[in-house]
A and B are shown apart, each in its own frame.
Chain A
Amino acid sequence: MTSDPHIDRAAPVAPPADHGAGRLTLLQRIAKLRAWLFLGALLLFFEGWARIVYGGTFLGNTYNLQSIAIFAVARLLLATGQTFVIISGGIDLSLGFIMGLAAVVAAHVVVWANPLMPAPVAVLVGFLAGVLIACIPGAVNGFLVAYLKVPPFIGTLGMFGVARGVAFLLAGGTTVPVSNPVLSALGNSRLFGSIPWTVIIAAVFILLMHYVLSQTRFGQHNYAIGANPQAARRAGIDIRKHLFRLYVLSGACAGLAGVLYTAQFSAGAAQAGEPLLLDSVAAVVIGGASLFGGSGTILGTVAGAFVIAVIQYGLVFVDVKPFWQFISVGVVIIISVLIDQAQRSFSGGRQSE
């Protein structure tokens, strides 16, 4: 207090010429690519197993690759919607039964439309109905989370129950079989005899979602809201409108998964997506997203979903008891999160809690 008050005044400090922040450490690079590293390691493992034990090949066998891809489709689509929601700092627990609801509705509508219109039109109408129906629970989720400030975990848990009940009621407690040649062709035939149509549809959609997340304002705002909602609000972003659209989008992803399920099995089932919900969360986490929000990519999630699909298919391939799948996926999730935490604490990043 007794020092000369003017002493600091004349000497503004020149900042150093260059702020070198922004160089990624090795650990950060590993953390960023961890899903791809896991995937590579798994493929190497199964390839090695095939060569040593079976004297054959795992990756060179198109049938294996097709099976993995078909197996991964629904997981990929649910995980795509989940990626958007988790980046925003939320979670969507209703996706599995929204998928089932869409599958049942699509099946019913195709059955209804079959005698009224040509087969391809009936399929198109059924698909549209399934995806649009899926937007309704998505919109309710969005309304609850965005406007009524219900925590996403609780709001979508409620919708999990509602969608489940409605799907089973609409299905009459059983599956809804459909007989439509175009539908089954779409679900089971392959482009050039090798690439399943369901895989192509899913791939195009996921590419579109990758574009939305990484190249549009909607995607950019999604990251900002997940990291710091106050900053986003102060920047003039309408958070409520964004979150509402976000949950509708997430519902639509599940809807697409549902109608592709109906195509694949020529039947709609309420429980179509039941086992896939936690897989979708796992894929997002293995893919590099943080459950606290603000980080994650579609490409990471794709790798994460394939890690799960490869484990599940590969363990059947090497012929061990199926329960090893649960253990393996569980271990991969835990390792993945540990890598993420190590990266956060060692690289000195200023992550907000």
Chain B
Amino acid sequence: MNDLSGTPTAPLLEIRHLSKSFGAVQALKEVSMTIRAGEVVALAGDNGAGKTTLIKAVSGVYAPSGGEILLDGQPVRFASPQEARDRGIETIYQDLALADNLTIGGNIFLGREPMRKALGFLPVLDRRRMAEAARETMARLDFHVSRMDAPVSNFSGGQRQAVAIGRAVYWNARVLIMDEPTAALGVPEQRKVIALIHQLKAQGRGVIFISHNLQDIFAVADRIIVLRRGVEAGERRISETSHEEVVRLMVGG
């Protein structure tokens, strides 16, 4: 393995020689990477380089054709995204994440809503608990909301991204995989998401951050792994590389 990260903590997530082929097409060939607690690893590469295939293999969407995934040093196999999530690996997609018509609390607790007994016998949704948990969670992300009863459709793109991250944080995700979290956002919103990623890092979570935007990558990542046509083209510490070098790795030559 590489030791570019240079930190002494044991890896949270380790990917060893991961391959994935679809029929005759090999989308991913022997890619390895590690993520430590409190570390942000950027995944870069041109379209079709294998970034999405890699994260889908890690998050349980695809079963890898070869190689292994270790969580806390233990080999794991995820049959479904649900299993990966149960083990603390949460993927945050750009727009598939939220039910727009529900509140922040409703989204955080979607599918796992807390209930209480009204009048001593009638089970009802515990909206106050959802709102309080939502307020606390969002405050941990430095995101203070005045009205917890508004549907998330009232919020901006960056704020919605924060809600999706908040849900992962609330359910104790240890590794967050973020697929182009800034792509659909305006510049101030992008900066807000970058600030959120700094928060996650400070909380000791591992982040895999996929982006086309080198500015964002250099603003937040500790390391960058560049993929090209399914193979690892290079891995660099952000403090020791430059935009030019990364671009060279991406396009080859």
Contacts and interface: CB of A to CB of B under 8 A. Distances in A.
A321 interface: no
B242 interface: yes
A232 to B, nearest CB: 7
Given A19-B145, A227-B101, A234-B96, A349 B106 contact: no
Interface string A12-48: 1111011111110000000000000000000000000
Interface stretch (A2-10, A146-154, A323-331): A2-10
Contacts of A351: 100, 153
Nearest to B191: A13
A8 B242 CA distance: 13
B111 A349 contact: no
Interface-centre pick from A15, A20, A234, A350 (highest chain B CB count, 10 A)? A15
B115 A21 contact: no
A235 B242 CA distance: 39
B150 A21 contact: yes
Interface-centre pick from A14, A223, A226 (highest chain B CB count, 10 A)? A223
Interface in A297-353: 349-352
A81 to B, nearest CB: 20
B219 A8 contact: yes
A12 B118 CA distance: 44
B195 A236 contact: no
A349 B82 contact: no
Nearest to B242: A5
30 contacts: A5-B214, A5-B242, A6-B218, A8-B218, A9-B219, A13-B194, A15-B143, A18-B146, A19-B143, A19-B146, A19-B155, A21-B155, A21-B159, A211-B122, A215-B124, A216-B125, A224-B102, A224-B106, A231-B97, A231-B98, A231-B99, A231-B107, A232-B99, A232-B111, A234-B97, A235-B110, A236-B111, A294-B101, A350-B155, A351-B100
A5 B153 CA distance: 35
Contacts of B215: 8
A224 B110 CA distance: 8
A348 to B, nearest CB: 9
Interface string A226-244: 1110111011110000000
Contacts of B188: 13
Contact of B101 (A5, A17, A226, A230): A226
A234 B85 CA distance: 10
For the complex of A and B, list the 6 residue pairs with the smallest distance between their C-beta atoms, beginning with the closest. Answer: A22-B150, A22-B147, A235-B111, A8-B219, A235-B110, A224-B99
B145 A350 contact: no
B110 A231 contact: yes
Interface of B: 81-82, 96-102, 106-107, 110-113, 115, 118, 122-125, 142-150, 153-157, 159, 188, 191-192, 194-195, 198, 214-215, 218-220, 238-239, 241-244, 247
A280 B198 CA distance: 51
Given A215-B124, A217-B125, 6 more contacts: A17-B144, A22-B150, A223-B101, A227-B99, A231-B110, A349-B153
Interface of A: 1, 3, 5-6, 8-9, 12-15, 17-23, 211, 215-217, 220-221, 223-224, 226-228, 230-232, 234-237, 294-295, 349-352
A8 B198 CA distance: 12
A217 B113 contact: yes
A231 to B, nearest CB: 5
Contact residues of B: prevailing secondary structure = mixed
Contacts of B123: 216
B156 A21 contact: yes
Contact of B125 (A12, A15, A215): A215
B100 A352 contact: yes
B46 to A, nearest CB: 16
B195 A14 contact: yes
A295 B99 CA distance: 11
A1 B243 contact: yes
Contacts of A20: 146-147
A215 to B, nearest CB: 4
B102 A220 contact: yes
B242 A22 contact: no
A18 B191 CA distance: 16
Contacts of B110: 220-221, 224, 231-232, 235, 237
Contact of A13 (B100, B143, B192): B192
A28 B210 CA distance: 38
A15 to B, nearest CB: 5
A19 B101 contact: no
Nearest to A22: B150
A223 B97 CA distance: 15
A228 B94 CA distance: 13
Given A12-B194, A13-B191, A5 B147 contact: no
Contacts of A6: 218, 239
B115 to A, nearest CB: 7
A215 B100 CA distance: 18
Contacts of A224: 99, 101-102, 106, 110
A3 B244 CA distance: 10
